[in-house]
Amino acid sequence: MMDRALYESDLRAAVAGAEDWLRGQRILVTGATGMIGSCLADALLLLNAERGAGVEVYAAGRSREGIERRFGDAVNDGHFHYVPYDSTLPLKFDEDVDLVVHAATSAHPMAYSTDPVGIMKANLVGTLELLEYLRRHGGARLLFLSTGEIYGENPELPTGFREEDHGWVDSMRPRACYPESKRAAETLCASYVAQYGVDARVARLGHVYGPTLTASNSRADAQFLRNALNGEDIVMKSDGSQVRSWTYAADAVNALLWLLMRGETGRAYNVANPDATASIREYARTLADIGGVSLRFDLPSDVERAGYTRVTRAVLDPARLMALGWRAQYDLKTGLEHTYRILK
């Protein structure tokens, strides 16, 4: 049984500063059952329940059953609407909305190694279809959720990637399906802004974690959390020296709303907590201490290894986002404590 009170407290933090602006907005959320999409939808529904905000939430997902399983009684709320959606197929949604948050993606290693073509189709076709939707429905605003992985590797930038910086990605490795398709989708957004005048902006997220973790997520940090919750040793499949920017889900959702409110059309923004830069080993150790379990190491299988990124330092500089007034509220230890308590 999840700690609902603590989770709702975090959801209030997720909409902090945007409550009045959100009132009466119509929002389409793709990937509504994913980690970020579901946290956003939960926060909007709670805002409706507690503040009578009247936000119309259009939750897009592959199946009604999946949406109903994830959101329970909320699907009967008059402000909640299920939208059948497959990001690899033409978009059939044609109602007017104000905001589109494109969070649909398979962002985990097992998908990269077993279905790289599907990953690319979802990121490219899904984004193109939504941009065409914006072109038909003047006035809608799109926030495309990209990734810090588009920067690739650049050891000469130890303080973190800024939006104008670049690293390298080996495009001939199937593992590049994710960063390269996200990069191309960003260019699609920029091209539609320039050629058709649509309102689109990009959020480049670092590593997001939190209690809305999905069962299919095969990332190492997701498995660490499952280990801790089950009272099992946390098993690392590398030395854990890779450094990442970590962001708690509630902070990430708050950043997305900030970008929808105050971001500039045609710009990309890094979304990362500057106070939560840590190696994977440090992340695992913190979680192990919270869960009272041990940390040990094991060799990965070939299939697992095929989905791993070679990037050793994926640190993002969020100065552009912070210049809009956004601040993260959860350091890594606090975010992990909340995640563990909510799910435990």
For residue range 62-78, what is the model confidence (pLDDT) as tens digits? 999 999 999 999 888 89
Q: CA 53, CA 145: separation in Å to the nearest integer? A: 25
Given a cut of 80, is residue 154 above it in pLDDT? yes
Given a cut of 60, is residue 313 above it in pLDDT? yes
Q: What is the mean pLDDT of the chain?
A: 93
For residue range 207-250, what is the model confidence (pLDDT) as tens digits? 999 999 988 888 889 999 999 999 999 988 788 888 999 999 99
For residue range 275-301, what is the model confidence (pLDDT) as tens digits? 999 999 999 999 999 999 999 987 666
Output the six-digit token pair for 59. 């939750």
Residues above pLDDT 90, as percent of the chain:
80
pLDDT at 257: 98
Q: CA 11, CA 40: separation in Å to the nearest integer? A: 8
Q: Amino acid identity of 165?
A: D
Residues above pLDDT 70, as percent of the chain:
95
CA quadruple 280, 281, 282, 284: dihedral, nearest 10 = 90
User: Average pLDDT in the 129-148 region?
Assistant: 96
Given a cut of 80, is residue 307 above it in pLDDT? no
Closest CA to 36 of 179, 178, 183, 248: 248
Q: Helices marked H in the chain — which ranges?
A: 4-14, 19-22, 35-51, 64-71, 109-114, 116-136, 177-196, 220-229, 249-262, 280-291, 302-306, 319-322, 332-343
* Rg of the chain in Å (alpha carbons): 19
Q: CA 138, CA 15: separation in Å to the nearest integer? A: 26
Number of Cβ within a 10 Å radius of residue 62: 15
Given a cut of 80, is residue 341 above it in pLDDT? yes
3-class secondary-structure state, position 81 = strand
Q: CA 278, CA 240: separation in Å to the nearest integer? A: 10
Given a cut of 60, is residue 136 above it in pLDDT? yes
Q: What is the DSSP letter of 148?
A: G
Given a cut of 80, is residue 344 above it in pLDDT? yes
Given a cut of 90, is residue 121 above it in pLDDT? yes
Q: Which of 92-106, 119-133, 158-172 has the lowest mean pLDDT?
A: 158-172
For residue range 25-45, what is the model confidence (pLDDT) as tens digits? 999 999 999 999 999 999 999
pLDDT at 65: 95
Q: CA 249, CA 254: separation in Å to the nearest integer? A: 9
pLDDT at 217: 86
Q: CA 7, CA 43: separation in Å to the nearest integer? A: 10
Q: What is the DSSP letter of 76?
A: G
| Residue partners of 9: CB distance under 8 A and separation at least 6 | none
Given a cut of 90, is residue 150 above it in pLDDT? yes
Q: In whole angstroms, how far apart are CA 343 and each of 2, 100, 128, 207, 261?
A: 5, 29, 36, 19, 31
pLDDT at 87: 95
Q: CA 134, CA 128: separation in Å to the nearest integer? A: 10
Domains of the chain and any CATH numbers: 4-343 (3.40.50.720)
Closest CA to 178 of 130, 241, 129, 114: 114
Q: Helices marked H in 52-172 — which ranges?
A: 64-71, 109-114, 116-136
DSSP assignment of 127-138, as one string? HHHHHHHHHHST
User: Average pLDDT in the 238-265 region?
Assistant: 95
Task: State the first-to-last Cα distance of the chain, in angstroms, to the nearest integer.
Answer: 7
pLDDT at 304: 59
| Residue partners of 79: CB distance under 8 A and separation at least 6 | 45, 48, 54, 55, 56, 57
